[in-house]
Copies of this chain bind each other. A is one copy, B any other.
Amino acid sequence: MAQSSYLNELKSKKLKATPKRLAILRVLSAASVYLGPQEIWEQLKKDFKKLGLPTVYRNLEELVDAGLVSRIIHPNRRLYYFLCENRLQHHHFICVQCGKVQDISFCAEAQLLQEVDQIYGGKILSHTLQVNGLCRCCLKH
């Protein structure tokens, strides 16, 4: 994702383009794996002499709310984040070993909607489809 498109998206979400926020996006963008707040913090401490861990936590959640970043639901129950270039794919195959994230093009949304609506009369607020496993690479070793 181009740097400039961040700016537009941030602006539309009323988030200021602060240096730290942009740096967090840059780190996520450069990573090929999902990252935890700690890791992001450690990477950025080199660039900013003052950077609090809470700032990283706060920004990540804001970026998730704004839809720029997706949150990974790891079996270990810690928070991980990933910047998915493809905004249309909400679902992922994550490798629990190396942390790689790959889009899942299959989406059950339509079927789920139908079932929940017709059978239960309920309303879907959100849904989670995440597949945990080992990627081709980790499978070899």
| A14 adjacent to chain B (CB < 8 Å) | no
Judging by beta carbons under 8 Å apart, are A123 and B112 in contact? Answer: no
- Chain B residue contacts of A127, Cβ below 8 A: 129-132
CB of A3 within 8 A of chain B? no
Check: A125 CB closer than 8 A to any chain B CB: yes
Do the beta carbons of A125 and B132 come within 8 Å of each other?
Answer: yes
Which 7 A-B pairs give the minimum distances between C-beta atoms? A121-B136, A124-B133, A127-B131, A125-B133, A122-B135, A123-B134, A108-B108
Q: Footprint of B on A, CB under 8 Å?
A: 73, 75, 77, 93, 95-96, 102, 104-106, 108, 111-112, 115-116, 120-136, 139
